Amino acid sequence: MIDVQQLSKSFKTVKALDELSFTAADGEITGLLGPNGAGKTTCLRIIYGLLKADTGTAKIQGINASVEPIEARKQLGIFPDKFGLYERLTAREQVRYFGELQGLTGAKLTNSVSEVIERLKMNDIADRRSAGFSQGQRMKVALAQAMVHQPGHLILDEPSRGLDVMSTRILRDMLRELRAQGTCILFSSHVMQEVAALCDRVVVMAKGKVAAVGSPTELCELTGESALEDAFVKIIGSDEGIAA
């Protein structure tokens, strides 16, 4: 579980986070939805220990990210926004390399690599060199690299930015698969359709605060709207910076 409590962070005069609190449960996909500048990236960077909050806590499986950043990071898989692969290596070799960076060795490393390849159903590409891989295949390797140390949590910042339709579908299927296996998935987006298609729970953010939390259905009920898009607009007060 990821537990964010009363997080505040300012950059000089800009208050990026203002006592932000929410939780993301295991076996669920939680979406942080908010317009540009709402504070989504700042929040995720605090969770994975790249930034320190001014006040408040971010805990991953009970581990405080600012007190024990290395322990906290072991619990996390981070999905990169660029899939830079070593073209001469096979998919398996790349995943293995990331496993080594995470401190895995010997039989544990070999087994973890095989397991994640199995889990993400990428046996067909595992022993091919990545030169010439499609975007969807590159994305699978990137996700396997993020998950090789078997973290219970996966964080994605605007994951489908720049992906083609096919890759977006592959990514969504893989996230659903990881959810079914119990992974706590937290991603940020300013795209309503993406959030509506994937999320069990949505944390709607505006100006560094939580504007509303609930399942897509609950958010519709809360606002008395039948379409999620209209519910979001009502909650945030405008549709500026949010994409349909």
Taking the complex as a whole, the smallest distance from the CB of residue 205 to ligand ATP amounts, in Å, to 7
- CB count in 10 Å sphere of residue 1: 15
160 touching ligand ATP, by CB under 6 A: no
Give the range of 40-48, 64-72, 86-94, 172-180 binding ligand ATP by CB under 6 A: 40-48
Residue 206: which H helix or E strand, with range? strand 201-206
Please select the residue that binds ligand ATP; options are 8, 19, 25, 37, rule is CB under 6 A: 37
46 touching ligand ATP, by CB under 6 A: no
Interface positions, 169-198, toward ligand ATP (CB under 6 A): 190
Of 15 and 176, which CB lies nearer to ligand ATP in the complex structure?
15
CA-CA distance, 196 to 147, in Å (whole number)? Answer: 24
CA-CA distance, 189 to 205, in Å (whole number)? Answer: 10
Please select the residue that binds ligand ATP; options are 16, 76, 139, 144, rule is CB under 6 A: 16
CA 236, distance to chain mean position in Å, is 22
Residue 25: which H helix or E strand, with range? none
20 touching ligand ATP, by CB under 6 A: no
36 touching ligand ATP, by CB under 6 A: yes
Q: In whole angstroms, how far apart are CA 63 and each of 76, 79, 85, 99?
A: 11, 20, 31, 22
Taking the complex as a whole, the smallest distance from the CB of residue 156 to ligand ATP amounts, in Å, to 13
34 touching ligand ATP, by CB under 6 A: yes
DSSP 8-state class, residue 103: T
Which tokens hold the place of 99? 């496993």
42 touching ligand ATP, by CB under 6 A: yes
Residue type, 25: A
Q: Which residues bind ligand ATP (CB under 6 A)?
A: 11, 14, 16, 34, 36-42, 190
